[in-house]
Structure 1
């Protein structure tokens, strides 16, 4: 399964504040991402958030269409709350207030995957 890594440029020294925000994260009710036609477009398998100094990375293991995953995440109350709450700790602004802005920011923040290994 593919894994996307989303990079956040944050201010150094705010790891504990961001850790507190992450600890209160409200997960979506479902991991199924539904397309406009009602068909399943993707599924979020797992997520993880890592932080060190001035960099935070959110890993998303998923099946299906990554753009559908981004659109789904943009509409989730927990993700919207997280994005609002981290604004004071960002070193560079993120345009995540609208679905289109979130998707654009998501796509601009995806790190290039050089290798992914799993069990066969």
Structure 2
């Protein structure tokens, strides 16, 4: 299962406030992601958020098409709520109020995956 990581440029010193934002996060309605035709194209398996100093990283474990994951996240009420609540703590604003803006910001914030390993990738000994 692949992982994606996106960064947020945040103002340092607000770790507690940002943690509180994610404590009340409303999960997506379904982990199943559908493409424009309605067919299942991806699935969100897990997410995690990390923070240190002026950087926050959201890690997403998924199956399928990452572009469809980004479009799916763009319309999720919980994701939109978090983006709105994070705005005062960002050192670089994110234009995520439209689907197009969210997807463009997601792509621009995406880290390059250098290596990825999982015990699930190997047959049992």
For this structure pair, what is the TM-score category when the shorter chain's length is used for normalisation? over 0.9
1:48-67 superposed Cα distances (whole Å, 9 cap, x missing partner): 00011111000000000000
| Unmatched 5+ stretches in structure 1 | none
Partner of 2:114: 114
Partner of 1:67: 67
Helix, strand or coil: the match of 2:117?
A: coil
How large is the RMSD of aligned CA atoms in angstroms? 0.5
If the length of structure 2 is used for normalisation, what is the TM-score? 0.95
> Distance in 1 between the 2:69 and 2:16 partners?
28
- The runs of 4+ residues in structure 1 deviating greater than 3 Å are none
Helix, strand or coil: the match of 1:86?
A: helix
TM-superposed deviation, 1:117:
1.0
| Unmatched 5+ stretches in structure 2 | none
If the length of structure 1 is used for normalisation, what is the TM-score? 0.99
> Distance in 2 between the 1:56 and 1:24 partners?
17
Greater radius of gyration (CA) = 2
Partner of 1:7: 7
